[in-house]
Amino acid sequence: MHNRILQVAIDTPLDTTFDYRCSVSEVTSEQPHRGQFVRVPFGKREVAGLIVGVTEHSDVPIEKMRDVIELRHQLSPLSQQWMELCEFAADYYQRPLGEVALPAVPKALRDAKPGAIDRALKKIATQAASIQTHASEVAATAAPVLNTEQQYAVDAIAATTGYACHLLFGITGSGKTQVYLQAAKAVREKTIALGERAQVLILVPEINLTPQLEDQVRAAFPSLHVVTLHSQLSEGERLRHWLAAHEAQADILLGTRLAVLASMPHLKLIIIDEEHDASYKQQEGLRYSARDLAIWRARQLAIPVVLGSATPSIESWHHAETGKYQRHALTQRAAALATVPRVGLIDTEREKATEGLCPSLLNALRERLARGEQSLLFLNRRGYAPVMHCDACGWISNCRRCTAFMVLHKPERRLRCHHCSLELRIPSSCPTCGNVDLQPLGRGTQRVEEHLHTLFPDARILRIDADSTRRKGSAQEAFEAVHRGEVDILLGTQMVAKGHDFQRLTLVGVINPDTALFSQDYRASERLFAQLMQVAGRAGRAASSLGSVSEVLVQTRYPQHPLYRALMNQDYTGFAASVVEERRSAGLPPFVFQALLRAEAKLLASALEFLNTAKELMPHEGIIINDPVPMTITRVAGVERAQLLLESSSRVVLQAFLKPWLHALRDTKSRLRWSLEVDPVDI
C-alpha cells in the first residue's frame, strides 16, 4: 500500500482545491483518476468532491491531510474534455471550479448511497435494450420534403468538417425544427459511417417548450434513446438521464440551459433553439450563458453548432455579418398552406380602450369566434393589476421590503410582491386615510380575463401565466388543450409567445407593449422586437386551410415608432442593422466587453462605499470602471443593492484584470455580500 495525494474540487466559495490522502493497493485496479467522484470529510461534514489531479507531492505535509472516505468506481470518470469545459467556465466566469463542476451533475449522483448508481445504470441498460427491441415495431414519422432553403441549410451543416457556427435565421413557421432534425440525422449517419458513435445535444430556453419538441424528436428517431434534462425532473429521473448521456446510452439529449454541462463523450452536434432568449443566461450562482458555453464546447470538440432564431441576438447577428458565423436564411413558411400574418397597429390615442381592449381588437375576436378559429391575446404582465391605490390620499401598494409595488391578485384576494414573494391580504380600507374605496390601477392577465368572460360568456377562455401553471404538469396540460381545439381565446404572458405550433390560431392581439420602449436597459428594444415577432409568429401557421387571413393587431400609443414600423414590415434585418449602429456609436456590446460587480448591504451607503473601494483598489489600464450606482430595483427583501460596471474594448484585457482584482477584493475581508457577473444581460 502507498499513499496518493488527490487534489479535490468541492462545491464551496473558496477558490482552491483541497488535498486528501488516498491509500492505493499495488495489486488492485482501483486506482484514482482525474474526473472521478469521491466522498471526503470537509469540516464536520462528509461531502462529494471531484478529483482534478492525482499526485505524490503537496505543499501540505501528508500527516496533516485527511483520508478520502470513498472512491466512486461505479461509473467511468468524466472525460478530459468535460473537465476542460468546467475549467474554462470557472476561469471565464470567475468562479471556483467546485462551484461549476459539482452542481453540473445530479444531486443524486453526488449524494448517492451505495448501490444507487448501480441500480440506475442497470435500469438505463434495460431501457436502451427495450428501445432497440421495439424499434422495428415503430415506424419513424415520414420526414417532410424540405424546401430549397431548408435543404441548403441541412447540407451545409452536414458538410461541416471541424468547428463551424451556423446561424439559422428563419421567420416563425419556416420549419427550423425540421432543419434541426434532418441535420441531426445527416450528421449522425456521416459519423457512424466513419465507425464512430454520435450524440446530439439540443437546447431549448424554457421547460414548457420541451414536451412538444421531445415528441417530434422521438417520432423522427423511434430507434434512438432520447432523454431530457431540466429542473422539473425528479432527482431519480435526472440521475438516470444524466447517466444515460454520460455512459453513451442516450443518443439525443434535449434540455434547458443546465444541459449544456452534461457529460456526452461522443457529442457530434449542438443545436440551440431560440438562441436569442435571455433564459439561456443563468441569473444566480454561476452566471453563465448556456449559448456561449455551447459555442465554446463546439469549438473545443471541433464539431458544428447551430443557432436558430427568427430574431437572432444582436451579438450573433453581428458575428454573422462579419463572417464569424455562417448564416442560412429561411424566408418562407414551411407548411404549404401557411401564410405570414398581416401586422396592423391600433392607435390607442385615437381608439380608446375599455379595460385594455380597443374596439378593433374586440371586433377581430368576434369574427374569429364566429368562424370557430382561435385567438391569442398577449399581455406580459401577470396578476390582476400592477398596483392598488387610494384616490383620496394617493396611497399605493408599495412593498415594505422592496422598492417595488405589490401586485393585486384578485382571485386569491392577495397583494403579492413578485420580487420577494411577500403576500398580504387585500386591505379593506386605505392604511393611510381609512378610505374604503381602493381601486386597482393598470391591468394584468387576471383582469383582462375577467373582462373577456363578461364580453364573451359563451367563449372558452384560457389564461396561461406563471400563476395559472404553478402545479407540476399544468402548463403542458393547458397547451395540449389549446392544441386539441378546446380553447377559443388564449390569454397569456411570454409563456405563450414562442415555440408553440397552434394550427387553428388566426389572430394575435398585443396589449400594452409600450413600456419597454422607454426602458433604461439598452437591450429592451431588442427584447421587445423579438417578443413581438415571436408572438406574431403563433398566427397563421395553417391559416389558409381555414379560409382566413391571419392577423396580428398591436395596441400602441406610438404607432410611428421605428420599432413598430419594422414589425409591420417583418423587417428584422433593417431593425438589427439600426441597433448595431446604435451600439457601435454608443460603445455598447458587441463592441465592448462588460462585467458587473453587485453589492448588497443593510444600508445603501455601505454598498456604495464598498463599490467605491473596489473601483480604487488597483490600477486598471485599458478598463473603464464607471461610478457605482443603485440598482434599478434598489431594495429587495430588505436588502439594499448597488452595482459597478466595468468595460473594455478587449475581452482579453478585461479577463486579465478580473482575476487579480477579485483576489484583492477578497483580501479586503468585507462582510458585505457581493458577486461578479461577466457579460451581464441586465444592467
Q: What is the CATH number of the domain that holds 287?
A: 3.40.50.300
Question: Are both 281 and 247 inside the same structural domain?
Answer: yes
**Residue 260 carries which DSSP code?**
G
Listed residue (57, 59, 72) closest to 3, CA to CA: 57
Give the global pTM: 0.93
> Above 80 in pLDDT, residue 135?
no
The overall average pLDDT reported for the chain is: 91
Residue where one domain finishes, among candidates 551, 582, 613:
582
> Above 80 in pLDDT, residue 6?
yes
pLDDT of residue 497: 81
Which residues, in sequence order, are bridge partners of residue 47? 40
Question: Are both 355 and 490 inside the same structural domain?
Answer: yes
pLDDT of residue 120: 83
Structural domains in the chain (count): 5
Residue 480 identity: E
Give dist(CA 78, CA 100) in Å, integer. 14
Mean pLDDT of 188-214: 92
Q: Is residue 335 part of a domain?
A: no
Mean pLDDT of 200-217: 90
Give dist(CA 426, CA 454) in Å, integer. 23
Give the max Cα distance, the chain: 87
pLDDT of residue 542: 60
Q: Is residue 587 part of a domain?
A: no
Question: Are both 309 and 360 inside the same structural domain?
Answer: no
Listed residue (387, 399, 390) closest to 434, CA to CA: 390
Give dist(CA 403, CA 510) in Å, integer. 28
pLDDT of residue 27: 41
pLDDT band at 18 (very low <50, low <70, confident <90, very high): very high
397 vs 73, residue with greater confidence: 397
**Residue 541 burial (CB < 10 Å; 0-12/13-18/19+)?**
buried
Interaxial angle between packed helices 116-134 and 235-246, expressed in degrees from 0 to 180 and rounded to the nearest 10: 70
Write the CATH number for 656: 3.30.70.260
Q: Is residue 143 part of a domain?
A: yes
pLDDT of residue 108: 83
Question: Are both 229 and 300 inside the same structural domain?
Answer: yes
pLDDT of residue 420: 94
pLDDT of residue 545: 47
pLDDT of residue 683: 81
Q: What angle do CA 405, 448, 478 make, to 5 degrees?
A: 100
Question: Are both 179 and 137 inside the same structural domain?
Answer: yes
Question: Are both 176 and 315 inside the same structural domain?
Answer: yes
Ordered DSSP codes for 43-81:
TTEEEEEEEEEEES--SS-GGGSEEP-EE--SSPPPPHH
Residue where one domain finishes, among candidates 72, 104, 136:
104
> Above 50 in pLDDT, residue 247?
yes
Give dist(CA 580, CA 585) in Å, integer. 9
pLDDT band at 186 (very low <50, low <70, confident <90, very high): very high
How many CA atoms lie within 13 Å of 10's alpha carbon, on the beta-carbon side? 22
> Above 50 in pLDDT, residue 70?
yes
The two beta strands, 37-42 and 70-71, are antiparallel
> Above 90 in pLDDT, residue 257?
yes
The answer to whether residues 304 and 234 touch, using CB atoms and an 8 Å cutoff, is no
Listed residue (203, 207, 205) closest to 271, CA to CA: 203
187 vs 503, residue with greater confidence: 187
The answer to whether residues 484 and 512 touch, using CB atoms and an 8 Å cutoff, is no
Lowest mean pLDDT among 57-71, 363-377, 397-411: 57-71
Q: Is residue 394 part of a domain?
A: yes
pLDDT of residue 133: 66
Domain range for 245: 116-330
Question: Are both 180 and 132 inside the same structural domain?
Answer: yes
Which span out of 472-476, 479-483, 509-513 was modeled with the highest average pLDDT? Answer: 509-513
327 vs 30, residue with greater confidence: 327
Residue where one domain finishes, among candidates 582, 609, 631:
582
Question: Are both 621 and 477 inside the same structural domain?
Answer: no
What are 587-640's pLDDT values in tens digits? 999 999 999 999 999 999 999 999 999 999 998 899 999 999 999 999 999 999
> Above 70 in pLDDT, residue 25?
no
pLDDT band at 24 (very low <50, low <70, confident <90, very high): low
